[in-house]
Chains A and B, each alone.
Chain A
């Protein structure tokens, strides 16, 4: 049995309707990520990082190629299966936090738990405490700073103990100091619990916290680098 949580083979994604000759966001990308690994995918804006992440999350469908999450082929899972996977095995952290504005911090975290079939406010509260937001449970997103909002987003992603956390430019909307805090929290929590973390970024900051760094250029993963090279 493979230890790979993510297996991507020859992944292509076109954004024109016919599926050829148009705008290729991914061009035959392949990738394997092991359980518990913290991976950073580094690349310029428009290199196809977010597309790759959306495909791995099952939010979008590839033009061709294979994606397996914990050995399950996303294509054969179907829409219902992919949704179920996101509910239970995947956590997502976005650049712009994407909290539900009408729910409090606690409710935003609880939402994720509820979707995973665990309706327990105490666990949600503990998850918030784990990202140093104790006492701010009842605040709405607009009452929190950017860093605090991202911490709520991290708590929301981690609270259900997913196998895989996907982070799309998690510090892209934060200052360096806050970004460092966020990355520290995110990577340390993943390492503590053995979760796999895939971060895509266009800055070097996230790379410093990764076990492995890959670069992406024009829809293809090219090199394996270390943080000093970046």
Chain B
């Protein structure tokens, strides 16, 4: 048996270049999965670490349903018999000089020690060696802060230095370590109230409760009480869709990797078929051939997996930064710690490499085990039967496709099922590749003849003749290109939909403050309203709430202003809905309607400051501002409900026909800047939203590139196999008088032919994929409708990629042709 295995394994060395390509294909596939999984896990665990770390020993949190609360209730809380410890917190954000947002926690160090003993332990201990008087700086100096150590290092700030922020200069008196990786500033709560201009206000109070039921019985009305577990769950659900997206990306990488490995293994089977026939004729049993082949696959899988794990680890550092910045843009500032190398990563890579190799080689193994020795010994029988096989594969593809479509339609809210079905659709369509190649062969012949003359004509014949190899390579390349088109079209359509949505809702001429770190002072809002001849001023307030235990948002707007100036995209009906909103009704975003199954005409119950209030849903509108769902109401309704007068941003509308328009805009701008408030024109505002959008999809773009790289190795491997397997044919070409240049051109034409046909097929499959991503996956993940916009850019980009990848893949075989062709002869062995 050893010698049978040895005969197979020697191919790895004998065909070094092909082995290397196969190895790189597997390694890239494994690297994509490992990189994606590691970075996603790292970013998400940093996210939950940050939540847990700041939660400390607190068992509960109490806050108003919306907005801040008066610190006078602290006395009552302190006296409450169910409260063992408590710590009031002002939780805000400010912008650093470099533009990054940073979280600021205003706390009472004495009270907070019971809840988060680790938080202030380090900075106070650090300063113990210094005079006690200077330790008092934290309490006495209203600009004194503790800064998280890694951020301090990064910014080159040492204790005693000043740092510039959007709220003026802050004095860093000590640093402290934060294991969660979240950059933080700590300051005394009284000073925080001062710099954020929130005198006597706190955002929430962390509590350690002895008796939750008893406590809730007294504090339920007008407050929201959340246990630590509920809070963690809220955060988890907040990033749920994002996590799902990351998992889908990992699965996508795995799918392409397994497909490529299948591709690789199929080539190996084709090239081992004759050997298998010889061995069987000598008395080698089927299972012995299978084991020998499996050994070869496992060696490739192990080596590829090991290399892939190292590459994946390196990749994860890059991806972690991208994911971190996406989380920062969408949720809160996070600086995830890159994963730490461990041999478990290596082991995972090897298991993945071997697992994917075995999965990818199941069908080829069955084929090899079933090799008919008589057929195999006759030589090139595989090609003769490849047409029939392509037909069989097409039937299987249709079955897979139909099953997948049924699952897709029946999957409902089961997003994982929907993803599985999407991959099934891709697999089904890829199984049709062989038969499509057969039907496309005449057209391909015409095309390649036009491009490459006689060499192109022969190349087209070769692609058709070697369907067993070219079909699989084209399928793998097509899948990768389809993913590229599908993802790009989905992103493009989303961007277009977003731009359209901005045009309907965000029609203000100027936006004052769009960032959550800044709140617009109430008196400034009143001042703007009082400007003569100004069209309208919309005060925008957005707060996170819990609706039926899940995250949702409430936004308060000035309904009369929006009625006049905005052009909301209503799902049903028109601007008549504003009348009802002005008199106390609410409108909901599409995501809220889908997420909570609420329809116009229903009533929803919201916990206001005076208890639960029933509100009638008047209408639903398209919205992309949050996937969790949005309830929009007039500011007057909101104030009645929550007594929260804070404003996040202000939109100023000026009638286009107003002759003083420019003068008014200048006046508003001056007034805002004088208050230190950022001002954005409509265009700037749109751009900032699109910037966030683009950075959100940076990870998706990275995966697109990975898919192409993996596919590149696939097509290069296919060409290399074709070259090796056709040494005899090259001898015939030489005998017929083909020049080295013509044979090189033929190799190039084969690559371009395969690339071209892969691209043509990917245009159709990619469009189908985009459609599924938009109409099924996105709708179910994010509960919003994206409108399909046909764009030519993804197709053009993919065409260029396909051409370049085919060209790149052909380079090495061409080099081999140029080196070896002049010595080639017609030989059987």
Residues in chain A near residue B373, CB distance under 8 A: 59
> Is the CB–CB distance between B829 and A100 below 8 Å?
no
* Interface stretch of the complex, out of A28-36, A82-90, A126-134, A175-183: A82-90
B2 neighbours in A (Cβ, 8 Å): 114
Q: A142: which B residues are within 8 A, CB to CB?
A: 829
Q: Which of A102-110, A195-203, A204-212 contacts B (4 or more CB under 8 A)?
A: A102-110
Name the interface size band of chain B: 20 to 34
Asked if residues B829 and A86 are in contact (CB atoms below 8 Å), the reply is no
- How far does the Cβ of B115 sit from chain A's closest Cβ, in whole Å? 69
Is B280 in contact with A59, judged by CB distance below 8 angstroms?
yes
Residue of B nearest to A82 (CB): B283
Of residues 80 through 128 on chain A, the ones whose CB sits less than 8 Å from some CB of chain B are 80, 83-88, 90, 92, 94, 96-103, 107, 110-112, 114-116
A155 CA to B260 CA in the complex, in Å?
A: 41
A103 touches B374 (CB 8 A): no
Q: B553-579 CB contact bits vs A (8 Å, 1 = yes)?
A: 000000000000000000000000000
Q: Are the CB atoms of A90 and B283 closer together than 8 Å?
A: yes
Q: Does chain B have a CB within 8 A of A63?
A: no
Q: Are A114 and B285 in contact (CB under 8 A)?
A: no
Check if B284 sits within 8 Å of A115, measured CB to CB.
Answer: yes
Question: B8-16, B75-83, B534-542, B767-775: which lies at the A interface?
Answer: B8-16
Closest to B827 in A: A142
Question: Does A54 reach chain B (CB closer than 8 Å)?
Answer: yes
Chain A residues whose C-beta falls within 8 Å of the C-beta of B14 in the assembled complex: 101-102
In the complex, the answer to whether B7 meets A100 with C-beta atoms within 8 Å is yes
Q: How does the 8 Å CB contact mask read for B437-464 relative to A, with 1 for contact and 0 for none? A: 0000000000000000000000000000
A58: shortest Cβ distance to chain B, in Å? Answer: 9
Shortest Cβ distance from residue A92 to the other chain B in the assembled complex, whole angstroms = 5
Write the B793-829 contact mask toward A (1 if CB under 8 angstroms, else 0).
Answer: 0000000000000000000000000000000000011
A10 CB within 8 Å of chain B: no
Contact with A along B616-634 (1 / 0, CB 8 A): 0000000000000000000
Within residues 1 to 34 of chain B, which ones have a CB less than 8 A from any CB in chain A? Answer: 1-4, 6-11, 14
- Identify the interface centre among B8, B279, B281: most chain A CB within 10 Å of its CB: B281
Known: A87-B282, A88-B283, A92-B282. A107 touches B829 (CB 8 A): no
Pair A102/B282 contact, Cβ less than 8 Å: no
Known contacts A59-B280, A83-B285, A103-B6: does B829 contact A54 (CB below 8 Å)? Answer: no
Residues of A within 8 A of B6 (CB): 102-103, 107
Interface flags, B274-289, vs A, CB<8A=1, else 0: 1101111111110000
Q: A97-B829, A107-B6 are in contact. Are A92 and B374 (CB under 8 A)?
A: no
B10-A102 in contact (CB<8A): yes
The chain B residue sitting closest to A103, CB to CB, is B7
Complexed CA–CA distance, A92 and B11 (Å): 24
Q: Quick check: A96 and B829 within 8 Å, CB to CB?
A: yes
CB distance from B1 to the nearest CB of A (A): 7
CB distance from B279 to the nearest CB of A (A): 7
Query: Are A111's CB and B4's CB within 8 A?
Result: yes
Q: Nearest B residue to A57 by beta-carbon distance?
A: B281
A99 touches B829 (CB 8 A): yes
- Complex CA distance for A90 and B6, rounded to whole angstroms: 23
Which residues of the partner chain B approach A59 to less than 8 Å between Cβ atoms? Answer: 280-281, 373-374
The digit string for A59-88, where 1 denotes a CB below 8 A from any CB of B, is 110000000000000000000100111111
Closest to B1 in A: A114
Contact present for A102 and B8 (CB under 8 Å): yes
Q: Which residues of A contact B436 (CB under 8 A)?
A: none
Residues of chain A within 8 A of B391, CB atoms compared = none
CB distance from B823 to the nearest CB of A (A): 13
Contact residues on A (Cβ < 8 Å of other chain), bracket: 20 to 34
Contacts of A102 in B (CB 8 A): 6-11, 14, 275
In the complex formed, the residue of A with least CB distance to B274 is: A98
| Complex Cα–Cα for A83 and B283 (A) | 5
Alpha-carbon separation in the docked complex, A141 to B9 (Å):
16
Task: Let me know if B190 is at the binding interface, CB within 8 A.
Answer: no
| B377 CB–A CB distance under 8 Å | yes
Select which of A98, A99, A103 is within 8 A of B281 by beta carbon: A98
Q: How far is the CA of A68 from the CA of B3 in the complex (A)?
A: 31
B7 touches A111 (CB 8 A): yes
Cα–Cα, bound, A173→B828 (Å): 10
Provided the pairs A59-B280, A98-B377, A103-B10 are in contact, do residues A114 and B829 lie with their beta carbons within 8 angstroms?
A: no
Chain B residue, CB-CB nearest to A51: B374
Cα A149 to Cα B828 with chains together (Å):
12
Distance between B438 CB and nearest chain A CB, rounded to angstroms: 22
Cβ-closest chain B residue relative to A55: B374
CB pair A101 B377 closer than 8 Å: no
Partner of B374, one of A54, A87, A90, A101: A54
Bound-state CA distance A1–B678 (Å) is 108
- Residue contact A111 to B282, C-beta cutoff 8 Å: yes
Cα A85 to Cα B2 in complex, Å, equals 20
Contacts of A85 in B (CB 8 A): 283
Query: In angstroms, how far is the closest chain B Cβ from the Cβ of A139?
Result: 12
Instruction: Report Cα–Cα, A57/B281, bound state, in Å.
Output: 8
Question: Smallest CB–CB gap between A145 and chain B, Å?
Answer: 11
- Contacting residues, chain B, for A90 (C-beta < 8 A): 283
CA distance A101 to B13 in the complex (A): 12
Contacts of A92 in B (CB 8 A): 281-282
* Other-chain residue from A54, A87, A110 in contact with B283 (beta carbon distance below 8 A): A87
The complex places the Cα of A141 from the Cα of B274 at a distance, in Å, of 15
B residues 275-307 near A (Cβ < 8 Å) are 275, 277-285
- The smallest beta-carbon distance between B503 and chain A, in angstroms, is 66
A contact residues around B377 at 8 Å (CB): 94, 98
Q: Do B3 and A103 touch across chains, with their CB atoms under 8 A apart?
A: yes
Q: Which of the listed residues A59, A80, A84, A112 has the most CB atoms from chain B within 10 Å of its own CB?
A: A59
* Residues of A with C-beta under 8 A to B283: 83-88, 90, 115-116
List the B side residues contacting A107 at CB < 8 Å.
Answer: 3, 6-7
Q: With both chains docked as a complex, state the minimum distance between the C-beta of B334 and any C-beta of chain A, in angstroms.
A: 53
A-B contacts, 26 listed (Cβ < 8 Å): A54-B374, A59-B281, A60-B372, A83-B283, A85-B283, A86-B283, A92-B281, A94-B377, A97-B828, A98-B274, A98-B281, A98-B377, A100-B7, A102-B6, A102-B8, A102-B275, A103-B6, A107-B3, A107-B6, A110-B3, A114-B2, A114-B4, A115-B4, A116-B283, A142-B829, A149-B829
Q: A96-B828, A103-B7, A114-B1 are in contact. List 6 more A-B contacts (CB 8 A).
A: A57-B281, A59-B374, A98-B277, A100-B7, A111-B7, A142-B829
The 9 lowest CB-CB distance pairs between A and B, nearest first, are A87-B283, A102-B10, A86-B283, A100-B7, A98-B278, A111-B3, A59-B373, A96-B828, A60-B374
Give the A-binding residues of B (Cβ under 8 A). 1-4, 6-11, 14, 274-275, 277-285, 372-374, 377, 828-829
Chain A positions within 8 Å of B, measured between CB atoms, are 54, 57, 59-60, 80, 83-88, 90, 92, 94, 96-103, 107, 110-112, 114-116, 141-142, 149, 156, 173
